[in-house]
Chain A
């Protein structure tokens, strides 16, 4: 990608393995093919395809240790480099699914396509891709043993404050900004897709729903993003949208970090729309020109129109963020996607410079037993709400209480 300034983060120091195919080929072209003693791994017949050879080299660089998690879509193993037993990786093996008889699942293709382009500290690194026997696709991903943000939000024993939230949001915003800067929509931002590395860095993971954007004559699906984090334009069925959808999800994650329960948690898409309207105000032609022309627009009840919530509503709901933080949250949760902040505007907000200063990533609160969680996170299919643990918590939020 043109503006990726960072070097690839591959942990692979095993130069011998990846070069062996090349050497092999070179040796083949020279007079004496038997003289190739420098690559002991290559014991196959000489007429094998070069691509197969390369694939084997990559495969041999890693050793699978144990299974971390299994879902309907993928199995995740803990692995390490053959050359260095202390450098861990997560190997995500995509299952050959009955649904996709003729090829690979879309999620796997998207994940490989976009992750191999993106190299940023706040985006999970894809080190290698190889296929194992019976043409299974294996993604070698960065090993992130500290679990995810959802785990921290739910754990009542963990206490965190405004500075910690600011640090997490900063890392999330940087990751999202980098995706958008490279014209990739993530389309599934939620706390359990935000994994935490050993040093506390938050990494955007699960690019199974990602796609590139900004093509004017290509419709996109509106059936993306986990419901609680889905912006109103997608709920109304918009087929052309922009990076603003990810910003809404980010705003929801921000609110969830502050409240420690999902802010707007609907049981169905319709319920989600009504909850969003109740929380942030009813979309009308005045505050969102053209909203009535969106495909799945549902006319609001004339007697029950909630006015757009102002700054003081956000400040009252989220006192921990402070007035400046509430302002940022409001700019991320604007109903009209054109008025919503872009990722760059989010990062340029003054909140990052007001007190308290974001916690250093090493000092952020953390849990140690996150390996299992990573296994579960990586095997999940995009867009699903994985369990119902939040169901009761969400009901406690009563938006009518303010009247």
Chain B
């Protein structure tokens, strides 16, 4: 535990004194206090420079034997050093235990995880079971390096996209204001121009036309303004559509990143994580759909078989020109000659009956045909 410094905090700025070199702000108005998260002992900048410039050294505060390094010193954010310390611990634990809600099976598991994290933080803050908790945390960090890093990246991405959205919204609002102002200006100008036009025409025209000219002028104005309005509507819709598509894109990117995230499933520390199934690598495309072309068990096919039966065909150019191919004949004849070899219907039927799921009508007929024999003789 850091030493209590209530007495010092109650004093005014003027009297603030560096606990190491005892120089006060009164003498050195630019004095800055720094702390090191190892022990949270406060000291002034010049002390840090003096003691730690030549490398790591022990903390100069009496009774504190922590070895400190210069680069870890930083400014204090919170006045209460306890708060400062808890925030640091919290930040560190959160960085390691950075699982996201979508990684958990259920709401319950997520809540359990949050509770567990708070417990770990509390342990570290209040110094209960520190060694074991630290060890657990380190082990977890090592085992889940990848998912931690992925979630960090995800967080950074979310933050930046939020930022981008904010600026975009501001920009849009500015544009809208601009557009409205422009619109108002245009309308006013047109109104004036129209009025002027009507006036000049009235001046030029005969007295009888006055009413018509006035009416026409009104109409023209109306038409113009309605045309303008529809044009504006169109632009606005376009912009809205654009915005939506952007938002959707961002959402999709987030999802894919989340998919990539996890690696290990349940680890020792966190329970209830979703099982992450790695997608099977895509098999190469098989044009034959799993079948093997030219698979012949009982014979090989030759290009030529001497046969006087087929000789006329070999000479018939007309048949050849039509595309008739004797190799197809060879292949069919041989296939039909050997068809059925290696098929054992008994076995197939008994297997199928054992499975007893699919019974086809033709099979029923086959069995029926088999049973008609004894039935007829009986």
List residues of chain A with CB under 8 Å of any chain B CB.
Answer: 1-3, 5, 7-8, 10, 12-13, 15, 18-19, 21-22, 25-26, 28-29, 50, 54, 57-58, 61, 116, 121-122, 128, 170, 173-174, 177-178, 181, 183, 213-216, 233, 238-245, 288-291, 293-295, 336-338, 340, 344, 347-349, 352-353, 357-358
* Complex alpha-carbon distance, A194 and B325, angstroms: 27
| Cβ proximity bits B301-341 to A, threshold 8 Å, 1 near / 0 not | 00000000010010001111111111011011001101110
Q: Is the CB of A238 within 8 A of B288?
A: no
Kindly provide the distance from the CB of A14 to the nearest chain B CB, expressed in whole angstroms. Answer: 8
In-complex Cβ contact of B285 among A18, A214, A357 (8 A) = A357
Q: Is the CB of A10 within 8 A of B358?
A: yes
Q: Which among B289, B332, B374 has the greatest number of chain A C-beta atoms within 10 A?
A: B289
Residue of A nearest to B314 (CB): A216
List residues of chain B with CB under 8 Å of any chain A CB.
Answer: 282, 284-285, 287-289, 291, 293-295, 310, 313, 317-326, 328-329, 331-332, 335-336, 338-340, 343, 356-365, 367-368, 371-372, 374-375, 378
Q: A19-B364, A243-B328, A347-B287 are in contact. List 8 more A-B contacts (CB 8 A).
A: A174-B287, A214-B329, A214-B332, A215-B329, A216-B329, A245-B323, A289-B321, A353-B284
* Complex alpha-carbon distance, A8 and B360, angstroms: 8
* Complex alpha-carbon distance, A54 and B368, angstroms: 9
In-complex Cβ contact of B325 among A10, A25, A242 (8 A) = A242
Kindly provide the distance from the CB of B323 to the nearest chain A CB, expressed in whole angstroms. Answer: 3
Instruction: Tell me whether A122 and B317 are in contact in the complex, defined as CB-CB below 8 angstroms, given that A214-B328, A243-B328, A344-B294 are known contacts.
Output: no
Q: Is the CB of A291 within 8 A of B287?
A: no
Instruction: Tell me whether A348 and B287 are in contact in the complex, defined as CB-CB below 8 angstroms, given that A2-B335, A214-B328, A288-B321 are known contacts.
Output: yes
Hey, which chain A residues are within 8 Å of B326, CB to CB?
Answer: 216
Residue of B nearest to A167 (CB): B285
Q: Is the CB of B375 within 8 A of A26?
A: yes
Q: Is the CB of B317 within 8 A of A290?
A: yes
Interface SS of chain A: helix, strand, loop or mixed?
loop
Q: Is the CB of A216 within 8 A of B313?
A: yes
Q: Which among B324, B326, B374 has the greatest number of chain A C-beta atoms within 10 A?
A: B324
In-complex Cβ contact of B364 among A18, A177, A178, A358 (8 A) = A18
Hey, which chain B residues are within 8 Å of A173, CB to CB?
Answer: 287
Residue of B nearest to A7 (CB): B358
Kindly provide the distance from the CB of A137 to the nearest chain B CB, expressed in whole angstroms. Answer: 14
In-complex Cβ contact of A294 among B321, B328, B362, B374 (8 A) = B321
Hey, which chain B residues are within 8 Å of A57, CB to CB?
Answer: 361, 364
Hey, which chain B residues are within 8 Å of A116, CB to CB?
Answer: 362
**What are 19 A-B pairs with beta-carbon distances under 8 A?**
A3-B335, A13-B358, A18-B359, A18-B361, A116-B362, A170-B285, A173-B287, A177-B293, A216-B313, A238-B323, A245-B323, A288-B321, A289-B321, A290-B318, A291-B321, A293-B321, A295-B318, A352-B285, A358-B285
